[in-house]
Chain A
């Protein structure tokens, strides 16, 4: 799913098919040029790969153990879900500080419904998401229709829902949850079919994803050629396809050699594809970018800014509720301290992933990559035993460096 988004805007840097020189050096040259022109998209992917490599060596091979790769997904699932919503909010030109508290509140609500009122977990999950939507609409109302800055409204929300969580839980943790609910965060795809050394369904999914991705690449290339746009030289195209297949297969085989695809990854993958598609191809997505890029111009172009902003916050509310449930499922408890500082991690992920303070730029995939950079950093530093205090210093520096690099890169491009 990643490659389709990444390749999308690379058009300007591509060379016409067949005109590329045939030596290896020229090929590297082309690759480097494509890289330089798309620093925004590729910079963080490269950082992520470098980080993985660094910690793989440093931890003596523990980093890429199937079990640890699975852990990274489980440990960051809820932050990534929040980061996706946060990216959209930031693209729209707003900010949401309340997501941590809201995640705590909805997780607590689900806990109370399931544990104290013996509600089936599916219903509790649904009601939690509904609460998230209602809260999102509430905040969206103040921001879009009353015109209070989102910073203020969601700051209020942060306090409000933190307090509401404590009231709801009476300061105590509520647990344990039914199996089904725990599986949101703890579960994996079931094992089916013959006993191979790998998790069969996961391998199957990996192959499917490869096939879909290659088909997409091929279709895009064909369309681009039909419209006489610039495309990658055929050999670069092959190399790109090969890289995609290698990455997807390596990832799925790694997961398959542990317990398979975790449910969290399914949720994340679904969100990434759906939200990425909406932001790229739907009118509403385009309107979100336009509002963030120039609100006044978008309004004068007939964009219904109030309704769009409202929807963005409803979406954020639902995602925050989902993250809250994933987190509660992971703890197997609704706790009053849940979600503390999640908003800052989600915001950091969005900015590392290429969002801009003034709105209008960024991709959903970028948010996920930004979140993974932070997550891998956390996991890797914990693996090699760097203490929490030093970890915070390093994370602060990484955030600064990522955004600083982006600013520098933009300035360079402009001059």
Chain B
């Protein structure tokens, strides 16, 4: 039996009014990948903050032993000195600085305050080779994609002579290929004797790379399961097993059955986009969306699949009031009539809604209340003579709090204090309240827990059942296969295919998503135009 590198016993942590952790036990063996999973709010992040000294010793109950020694970390530096390094979900790199400067930030190779650049560069190259990143040490972080930035974070951890690496949702922002690479790297690090705690929502990842998994629920450790006895073995547990423990109930109906729309406009085309072409706003030589055409009908859910950088979000945002990039050509039609969507207000006026993938940056006013966020997009309609009907607004907000199951004591709660899933429900409420004909949902379940996901799938299904035309952009193929009627694929700015739900498989979609050098496919079902 391998010895435990980390033992946390009976960890308890309270915030005013909440007990975030309630007697959590977790033991990590030396040289294993130990996954921690649980719904949002289950206490994963708090547990890691206790471990890394963000919550200093004395503010929590219980005992931490690292390499057999009891630990009392006062801050992050103290835990890092012992070799415990945490990589947060939001990357902590400074985009204006180079890779080398970032790796040694706060840990500079210096004598008497003067940085030794030569040793910094040599060391950086060695670290970059170790994480398999083929970039020069002087490259600025801003020039790297998210996947490569993640690797730089790991290199930074290695520079601190890490013994226990904690990764918080490391693949949340990565495409499948980068995710695979990263998971592979975690495996390699394990083989070099570096233990790893992996916090993840993605159950397939856990099955792919973890040796052991601990499930947290409501601040308690529910169970620790063995995924595999030795590296290379196939996983011995199923998604269902994990989900059951995470939510504490059987998820017999994770994806709802599609409810058909039978209203008068059934089958009628709502939105048609033709030959849509957009260039990058700064790098104007780059065509990011190239001759894309698609249509979506009332009561239909159209999925758009694609890898990172395929141009899905750019397509959606540029159609929605030209909020992104430089318009080159293309038309938008509603019910067969061409309409102008030059500004967001025009697009909203025509009944188009776009729910952003990045709700904190583009979706919500975090310092304002639930009720004011929900009403924002529909204010002109909800107001009379330029004045907001405060009571009407409250009624509307209360209605959505009920129907969307937003977990908050009142609709006057600050949105910033809600969990990710509840924030997503607020954004959705805002746009449903705008009473659109067409809803474009960009990564509607990113970063939210399993229970909330299921609720959001139900909402999407019901929107379509009411006759709305829904476009879902997602990086999770299983999600698209679960909720959509048709799935279009994009690669490198072009539409590369469109499949009915019945004929689509993950493998088939992935082939289309990685297809290069082919002519654009017209998702409206007509021959592509603008091929040059």
Please tell me if B208 contacts chain A, counting CB pairs below 8 Å.
Answer: no
Contacts of B462 on A, CB cut-off 8 Å? none
Please tell me if A39 contacts chain B, counting CB pairs below 8 Å.
Answer: no
CB distance from B324 to the nearest CB of A (A): 10
With A and B bound together, what is the CA distance between A364 and B376 in angstroms? 21
Are A301 and B386 neighbours in the complex by a CB distance under 8 Å? no
A sample of 27 cross-chain residue pairs with beta-carbon separation below 8 angstroms, ordered by A number, consists of A9-B412, A11-B412, A12-B409, A12-B410, A12-B412, A12-B413, A227-B391, A282-B383, A283-B380, A283-B387, A283-B388, A286-B376, A286-B379, A287-B379, A289-B365, A290-B372, A293-B368, A297-B361, A297-B363, A299-B344, A300-B323, A300-B344, A300-B363, A302-B343, A302-B347, A304-B345, A360-B365
A294/B354 contact (C-beta < 8 A), A301-B344, A301-B377, A302-B344 known: no
Contacts of A304 on B, CB cut-off 8 Å? 343, 345
With A and B bound together, what is the CA distance between A234 and B391 in angstroms? 22
CB distance from B195 to the nearest CB of A (A): 30
A281/B365 contact (C-beta < 8 A), A290-B376, A300-B344, A302-B344 known: no
Are A281 and B344 neighbours in the complex by a CB distance under 8 Å? no
Are B386 and A297 neighbours in the complex by a CB distance under 8 Å? no
Contacts of B15 on A, CB cut-off 8 Å? 415
Which of B348, B376, B383, B391 is in CB contact (< 8 Å) with A298?
B376
Known contacts A290-B372, A300-B323, A302-B348; 6 further A-B pairs (Cβ under 8 A): A12-B412, A283-B388, A294-B361, A298-B365, A300-B354, A302-B347
Are A302 and B367 neighbours in the complex by a CB distance under 8 Å? no
Are A293 and B345 neighbours in the complex by a CB distance under 8 Å? no
Are B410 and A11 neighbours in the complex by a CB distance under 8 Å? yes
CB contacts under 8 Å to B, within A375-415, are 414-415
A294/B364 contact (C-beta < 8 A), A300-B323, A304-B345 known: yes
Q: How large is the interface on A (under 10, 10 to 19, 20 to 34, 35 or more residues)?
A: 20 to 34
Please tell me if B430 contacts chain A, counting CB pairs below 8 Å.
Answer: yes
Contacts of A414 on B, CB cut-off 8 Å? 417
Please tell me if A172 contacts chain B, counting CB pairs below 8 Å.
Answer: no
Chain B residue with the shortest CB-CB distance to A220? B390
Please tell me if B126 contacts chain A, counting CB pairs below 8 Å.
Answer: no
Please tell me if B395 contacts chain A, counting CB pairs below 8 Å.
Answer: yes
CB distance from A407 to the nearest CB of B (A): 14
CB contacts under 8 Å to A, within B343-397, are 343-345, 347-349, 354, 356, 361-368, 372, 375-377, 379-380, 383, 386-388, 390-391, 394-395
Please tell me if B16 contacts chain A, counting CB pairs below 8 Å.
Answer: yes
Are A297 and B16 neighbours in the complex by a CB distance under 8 Å? no
CB distance from A52 to the nearest CB of B (A): 31
A299/B323 contact (C-beta < 8 A), A11-B412, A12-B410, A223-B391 known: yes
CB contacts under 8 Å to B, within A187-239, are 223, 227, 229
Q: Contact flags (1/0) for B301-332 with A, using CB distance below 8 Å?
A: 00000000000000000001101000000000
Contacts of B365 on A, CB cut-off 8 Å? 289-290, 293-294, 297-298, 360
Which of A227, A286, A302, A303 is in CB contact (< 8 Å) with B372?
A286
Are A283 and B383 neighbours in the complex by a CB distance under 8 Å? yes
Contacts of B387 on A, CB cut-off 8 Å? 281-283
Which of B343, B345, B362, B391 is in CB contact (< 8 Å) with A297?
B362
Which applies to chain A's interface (DSSP): helix, strand, loop or mixed? Answer: helix
Contacts of B345 on A, CB cut-off 8 Å? 302, 304
3 tightest A-B contacts by CB? Answer: A293-B365, A302-B348, A301-B377
CB distance from A30 to the nearest CB of B (A): 18
With A and B bound together, what is the CA distance between A302 and B376 in angstroms? 9
Contacts of B366 on A, CB cut-off 8 Å? 293-294
B residues adjacent to A (C-beta < 8 A) = 15-16, 320-321, 323, 343-345, 347-349, 354, 356, 361-368, 372, 375-377, 379-380, 383, 386-388, 390-391, 394-395, 409-410, 412-413, 417, 430
Which of A12, A301, A356, A361 is in CB contact (< 8 Å) with B376?
A301
Q: Contact flags (1/0) for A286-326 with B, using CB distance below 8 Å?
A: 11011001101111111110000000000000000000000
Contacts of B321 on A, CB cut-off 8 Å? 300, 302
Contacts of A356 on B, CB cut-off 8 Å? 367
With A and B bound together, what is the CA distance between A3 and B55 in angstroms? 40
Contacts of B430 on A, CB cut-off 8 Å? 301
Are B361 and A296 neighbours in the complex by a CB distance under 8 Å? yes
CB distance from B382 to the nearest CB of A (A): 9
Please tell me if A284 contacts chain B, counting CB pairs below 8 Å.
Answer: yes
CB contacts under 8 Å to B, within A10-25, are 11-12
A282/B388 contact (C-beta < 8 A), A300-B323, A301-B377 known: yes
CB distance from A311 to the nearest CB of B (A): 12
Are A281 and B362 neighbours in the complex by a CB distance under 8 Å? no
Are B364 and A297 neighbours in the complex by a CB distance under 8 Å? yes
Contacts of A360 on B, CB cut-off 8 Å? 365, 367-368
CB contacts under 8 Å to B, within A33-82, are none
Are A300 and B372 neighbours in the complex by a CB distance under 8 Å? no
CB distance from A322 to the nearest CB of B (A): 23
Contacts of A283 on B, CB cut-off 8 Å? 379-380, 383, 386-388
Chain A residue with the shortest CB-CB distance to B380? A283
CB distance from A6 to the nearest CB of B (A): 15
Chain B residue with the shortest CB-CB distance to A299? B344
Chain B residue with the shortest CB-CB distance to A300? B362
Most chain A beta-carbon contacts within 10 A, residue among B321, B364, B367:
B367
A281/B390 contact (C-beta < 8 A), A289-B368, A301-B376, A303-B376 known: yes
CB distance from B438 to the nearest CB of A (A): 15
Are B367 and A361 neighbours in the complex by a CB distance under 8 Å? yes
Most chain B beta-carbon contacts within 10 A, residue among A281, A283, A298, A360:
A283
CB distance from B397 to the nearest CB of A (A): 11
With A and B bound together, what is the CA distance between A9 and B413 in angstroms? 11
Are B367 and A293 neighbours in the complex by a CB distance under 8 Å? yes
Most chain A beta-carbon contacts within 10 A, residue among B356, B376, B409:
B376
Contacts of A281 on B, CB cut-off 8 Å? 387-388, 390
Are A290 and B362 neighbours in the complex by a CB distance under 8 Å? no
Contacts of A229 on B, CB cut-off 8 Å? 394
CB distance from B356 to the nearest CB of A (A): 6
Contacts of A227 on B, CB cut-off 8 Å? 391, 394-395
With A and B bound together, what is the CA distance between A229 and B347 in angstroms? 36
Chain A residue with the shortest CB-CB distance to B348? A302
Are B356 and A300 neighbours in the complex by a CB distance under 8 Å? yes
Contacts of A287 on B, CB cut-off 8 Å? 379
CB contacts under 8 Å to B, within A259-299, are 281-284, 286-287, 289-290, 293-294, 296-299
With A and B bound together, what is the CA distance between A82 and B394 in angstroms? 33
With A and B bound together, what is the CA distance between A415 and B54 in angstroms? 13
Chain B residue with the shortest CB-CB distance to A9? B412
With A and B bound together, what is the CA distance between A327 and B145 in angstroms? 57
Contacts of A223 on B, CB cut-off 8 Å? 391
With A and B bound together, what is the CA distance between A283 and B409 in angstroms? 26
With A and B bound together, what is the CA distance between A223 and B395 in angstroms? 12
CB distance from A7 to the nearest CB of B (A): 13
With A and B bound together, what is the CA distance between A150 and B361 in angstroms? 22
CB distance from B259 to the nearest CB of A (A): 29
With A and B bound together, what is the CA distance between A294 and B423 in angstroms? 15
CB distance from A278 to the nearest CB of B (A): 9
Contacts of A296 on B, CB cut-off 8 Å? 361-362
Contacts of B379 on A, CB cut-off 8 Å? 283, 286-287
With A and B bound together, what is the CA distance between A298 and B379 in angstroms? 12
Contacts of A299 on B, CB cut-off 8 Å? 323, 344
Chain B residue with the shortest CB-CB distance to A284? B386
Contacts of A290 on B, CB cut-off 8 Å? 365, 368, 372, 376
Contacts of A11 on B, CB cut-off 8 Å? 410, 412
CB distance from B132 to the nearest CB of A (A): 35
Contacts of B367 on A, CB cut-off 8 Å? 293, 356, 360-361
